[in-house]
């Protein structure tokens, strides 16, 4: 049985959609987390972050983990997530378009609390690199230390008094 041109076109379109739909769904797994969070399905979004994080950990996924934990009233857990995120990436800031003032305040608070320790750690890493005579690494670590120390949250007097 021969197919008409219109039937072939429809068949090809359906076949292309069937083949590419799963690819589109897998291209940005973080989008499903964002969609669940936006629809106030915080527990589901949290579960999706756990699955996503197991596959490919990333800072934005951790940010959404903190968002969900705050929304669920689990402030201590959110604090720990933000601390781990900022320890790994001290310069990370959530996008202001995505983060409420409450979330931004959480990040600033944690940054103030752990900032001095992060500066000290970078300094120690830079000194160790100097002792190994690894000039490039020492410069890199000193520059990172200065960027962290220059952060407005960390520079605040309150951060250094604690």
CB 59 within 8 A of CB 89: yes
Is residue 105 one of the residues assigned to a domain? no
| Residue 21 scores a pLDDT above 60 | no
Domain interval for residue 139? 115-162
Q: Which pLDDT value is given to residue 24? A: 42
| Residue 162 scores a pLDDT above 80 | no
Is residue 144 one of the residues assigned to a domain? yes
Read off the pLDDT band of 25 (50, 70, 90): very low
Distance, in Å, from the CA atom of 152 to the CA atom of 141, rounded to the nearest integer, reads 19
Average pLDDT over residues 17-30: 54
Same domain for 84 and 122: no
Average pLDDT over residues 60-83: 94
Global pTM value: 0.73
CB 65 within 8 A of CB 81: yes
Query: Structural domain tally of the chain?
Result: 2
Structure confidence by residue, pLDDT tens digits, 130-155: 999 999 999 999 999 999 999 988 88
CB 146 within 8 A of CB 126: no
Distance, in Å, from the CA atom of 54 to the CA atom of 48, rounded to the nearest integer, reads 10
Distance, in Å, from the CA atom of 64 to the CA atom of 102, rounded to the nearest integer, reads 14
Q: CB within 8 A of 85, min separation 6: which ones?
A: 59, 62, 63, 66, 92
Read off the pLDDT band of 126 (50, 70, 90): very high
Same domain for 42 and 81: yes
């Amino acid at each position: 049985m021969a197919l008409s041109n219109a039937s072939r076109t429809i068949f090809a379109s359906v076949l292309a959609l069937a083949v590419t739909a799963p690819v589109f769904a897998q291209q940005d797994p973080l989008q499903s987390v964002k969609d669940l969070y936006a629809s106030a399905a915080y527990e589901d979004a949290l579960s999706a972050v756990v699955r996503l994080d197991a596959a490919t950990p990333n800072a934005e996924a951790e940010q959404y983990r903190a968002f969900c934990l705050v929304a669920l009233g689990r402030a201590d857990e959110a604090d720990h997530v933000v601390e781990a995120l900022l320890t790994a990436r001290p310069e990370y800031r959530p996008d202001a378009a995505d983060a409420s003032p409450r979330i931004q305040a959480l990040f600033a608070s944690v940054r103030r609390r752990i900032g001095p320790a992060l500066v000290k750690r970078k300094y120690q890493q830079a000194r160790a690199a100097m002792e190994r005579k690894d000039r490039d690494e020492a410069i890199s670590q000193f520059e990172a230390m200065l960027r962290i120390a220059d952060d407005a949250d960390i520079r605040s007097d309150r951060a250094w008094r604690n």
